[in-house]
Amino acid sequence: MERPSWATASEAISAAEVIFEAEDSAYSAVERLHRVRDLVTAAGTQFLRRRQPNEAFKLLAVIQIPADAMDAELFHLQSLVRLYEQRRVVRVRKILIGLLVGVLIYLLAVSPSVFVALENPYRTTHGMSELDWSEGLYWSVITSTTVGYGDIVPQTPYARMFALFDAMIGVTLMGVVAGLILGLVTPRRFD
């Protein structure tokens, strides 16, 4: 007998719901559970073979098969999906850490230099004191953390647009750092 093919996890979940809801069928509750288990195993295996691990993950996350109804094939499938998810999280964390390093280099090296270069011509022509790189660094940190004391204020339209960009980068940076820290201190669970 040929097994049906599912394009998405939602289709397989809908098929499982039909089996679960068929109370008037000739199958007992235990038999329906075993049919759903077989459906989940077949669909999840198809998703992995087609290189759609996200669909397999969605399927296994929605349809929970009790441990006493689990078979070796479904256990293997769940292990593969968990391994995929762990690798995905590690990959995303590495990317975020790389971006974090890039953003810090930008905020602590590039941004102060660009700000000083944008502001000093205006300051010179209007009788204001020129900014040095350390003042640009101070401005960059204060702006990116959205503190904004107001002691160094961008005077030119380009510098103001640059300040908006710096603030947006800073807010995003704070969110990423908070997420990374939370991920490191949150206890891991093995469901």
Report residue 81 as tokens.
Answer: 């999906």
Per-domain boundaries in the chain:
9-70, 89-185
Which parts of the chain register pLDDT below 70?
A: 1-2, 23-25, 188-191
Tell me, what's the pLDDT at 186? 82
pTM exceeds cut of 0.85 = no
Residues in the chain: 191
Q: pLDDT per residue over 145-172, tens digit each?
A: 989 899 999 999 999 999 999 999 999 9
Pick the CATH number of 89-185 from 3.40.640.10, 3.40.50.360, 1.10.3720.10, 1.10.287.70: 1.10.287.70
Let me know: does 146 contact 171? Beta carbons within 8 Å. yes
Tell me, what's the pLDDT at 122? 96
